Amino acid sequence: MKKIALITGITGQDGSYLAELLLNKGYVVHGVKRRSSMFNTQRIDHIFENLKLQNKRFFLHFGDLIDSSNIIRLISEIRPNEIYNLAAMSHVKVSFEIPEYVANTDAIGTLRILEAIRILGLEKKTRIYQASTSELYGNNMQIPLNEESQFYPNSPYAVAKLYSYWIMINYRKAYNIFAANGILFNHESPRRGETFVTRKITIGIAKILYGLNDKLYLGNLDAVRDWGHAKDYVDAMWRILQHKNPQDWVIATGLSYSIREFLIACLKKVGLILGFRGKGLNEIGYVISSKNENYKHLVGKEIINVSEKYFRPSDVNKLVGDASKARQKLDWKPKSSFDDLVEEMITHDMQMIEKKYFKK
């Protein structure tokens, strides 16, 4: 019998990579997509359009984590062996604007799925993975952070995710459900949403290099993140649900870089050396030199500005994880390096901008 998986958030970055991974492993994959006035399935269209998979091993259903009856109906019809709850309003800054919606989706949404498993009597059949996050740690400075580190959530997003983290553990203990949290540190890819900082940078730089924009405006350049590749992280999700018992796991690279360092690394890939001068809102990033003839005209130009608009009411300054437990017990380690990630993202976005604006 093929294993059946249900992925909430299948249209997102992680959902799309996870669907590919599970299909390659022979799973039947069901995904929940939201109704939208525009197409929102770009990341998974290549899977759905594969006629060998469409409605044979790959199924999409309309749904929403704020709709209990929909969740119960889908789970009762699909009767999945594994649920990956990846659906969330995942943008930390936006969570300050719509905190109540975020609590409803990112916190109570998880409870709705757990309740559905219980109401339908699927406690023994269905394993569930919850997309927990390094944001739970907030500004805990006892770095590197592991499964024992304390949580200090610092945004409506993180507080909602903290509820989900604990309700998973509660249902594991109370009802013996295989409910596991993956505490994932930041992971990126060419499929990353365009308003998260790495993707905003790779697209912004591509536009400057193609002469479409003069500058890129960013917020807190001092923030430090432990960035991995989403492809490696969805593999960890799968391993977490194959483990002999449900536990909570930190997934991270253990290495960290500031936003400034990410910018420098991207520009280096295209032959430019970036320097910074000034402080705070007056800090400026400018091109010191270019090895690439095509970009000589940018030497001396100010291409990075800081704008108050992109700061958060409260930010998380530094996140670095210690994934020793996953290395030892799940045999998981990241395959992509920071350098590979930067290369893949900037190359992808240079090609994307060229195709969009310059190729007929």
Residues that are catalytic: 133, 135, 157
Contact of 208 with 297, CB cutoff 8 Å: no
User: Is there binding between residue 99 and ligand NAP (CB under 6 A)?
Assistant: no
User: Is there binding between residue 89 and ligand NAP (CB under 6 A)?
Assistant: yes
State the nearest-atom distance from the C-beta of 345 to ligand GDD, in Å: 12
Q: Rule CB under 6 A: which of 284-313 touch ligand GDD?
A: 310, 312
Q: Which of 20, 67, 123, 315 binds ligand GDD (CB under 6 A)?
A: 315
Considering beta carbons, is residue 215 or 312 the nearer one to ligand NAP?
312
Beta-sheet strand order (sheet of 216-218): 216-218, 302-306, 284-290, 272-277
State the nearest-atom distance from the C-beta of 206 to ligand GDD, in Å: 16
Q: Which of 28, 83, 87, 92 binds ligand GDD (CB under 6 A)?
A: 92
Q: Could you tell me whether strands 284-290 and 272-277 are parallel, antiparallel, or unpaired per DSSP bridges?
A: antiparallel
Tell me which stretch binds ligand NAP (CB under 6 A): 29-37, 49-57, 171-179, 252-260.
Answer: 29-37
Q: Which of 101, 152, 166, 196 binds ligand GDD (CB under 6 A)?
A: 196
CA atoms within 13 A on the CB side of 162: 14
Q: Which of 319, 320, 323, 342 binds ligand GDD (CB under 6 A)?
A: 319
With CA atoms as reference, report the closest residue to 226 among 208, 199, 251: 251
User: Is there binding between residue 323 and ligand NAP (CB under 6 A)?
Assistant: no
Q: Could you tell me whether strands 187-188 and 228-229 are parallel, antiparallel, or unpaired per DSSP bridges?
A: parallel
* Residue 105 interacts with, from ligand NAP, ligand GDD, none (CB under 5-8 Å by kind): ligand NAP
User: Is there binding between residue 215 and ligand GDD (CB under 6 A)?
Assistant: no
Q: Which of 5, 9, 126, 248 binds ligand NAP (CB under 6 A)?
A: 9
State the nearest-atom distance from the C-beta of 259 to ligand NAP, in Å: 14
Q: Which of 19, 177, 183, 218 binds ligand GDD (CB under 6 A)?
A: 218
Q: Find the largest Cα–Cα distance for the chain.
A: 66
Q: Which of 195, 294, 314, 337 binds ligand GDD (CB under 6 A)?
A: 195
State residue 53 phi and psi, 5-degree precision. -105, -35
The answer for residues whose C-beta is within 8 angstroms of residue 330's C-beta and 6 or more apart is: 236, 239, 240, 243, 249
Q: Could you tell me whether strands 178-184 and 248-251 are parallel, antiparallel, or unpaired per DSSP bridges?
A: parallel
Burial of 356 (0-12, 13-18, 19+ CB in 10 A): exposed
Q: Report the b/e string of 214-225 with b at 16+ CB within 10 A.
A: ebbebbbbebbb
With CA atoms as reference, report the closest residue to 182 among 304, 88, 276, 58: 88
Tell me the number of residues near ligand GDD by CB under 6 A: 23
H/E stretch holding 131 reads strand 127-133
Q: Binding residues for ligand NAP, per CB under 6 A?
A: 8-9, 11-15, 32, 34, 36, 40, 64-66, 86-90, 105, 131, 133, 184, 186-187, 193
Q: Binding residues for ligand GDD, per CB under 6 A?
A: 90, 92-93, 133-135, 185-186, 195-197, 200, 218-220, 223, 225, 259, 310, 312, 315-316, 319
